[in-house]
Amino acid sequence: MFKNYMPTIFFIVLILLTAVPAGLLVAWLTKEELRDGRKWFKAIIVASLAGCLVALFFKNYTIMLTLLYMAIATSMSLKK
């Protein structure tokens, strides 16, 4: 059953994994902004995850994956 979807799932996971180095790059480039706007970065994470769930409900997978990428990249920038 999942055999037909495996290349697509692999490609999606691969693209979402690129959010990790993107988030670390953002953290490295914007150290001052991370200190001052920490609450706004947290708000972006919450809004992205909420929007991801709404997009999943409406079966809009493009928006869902975009918001998930944003949430991963933003959370990685806060971890550093």
pLDDT digits (tens, 9 = 90+) for 22-36: 999 988 988 887 788
- How many Å separate Cα 34 from the centre of its chain? 17
> Which candidate, 69, 6, 29, 78, places its Cα nearest to that of 61?
69
pLDDT digits (tens, 9 = 90+) for 58-72: 999 899 999 999 999
CA Rg value for the chain: 14
Q: Is 49 exposed, middle or buried (0-12, 13-18, 19+ CB in 10 A)?
A: middle
- Residue 68, pLDDT score: 94
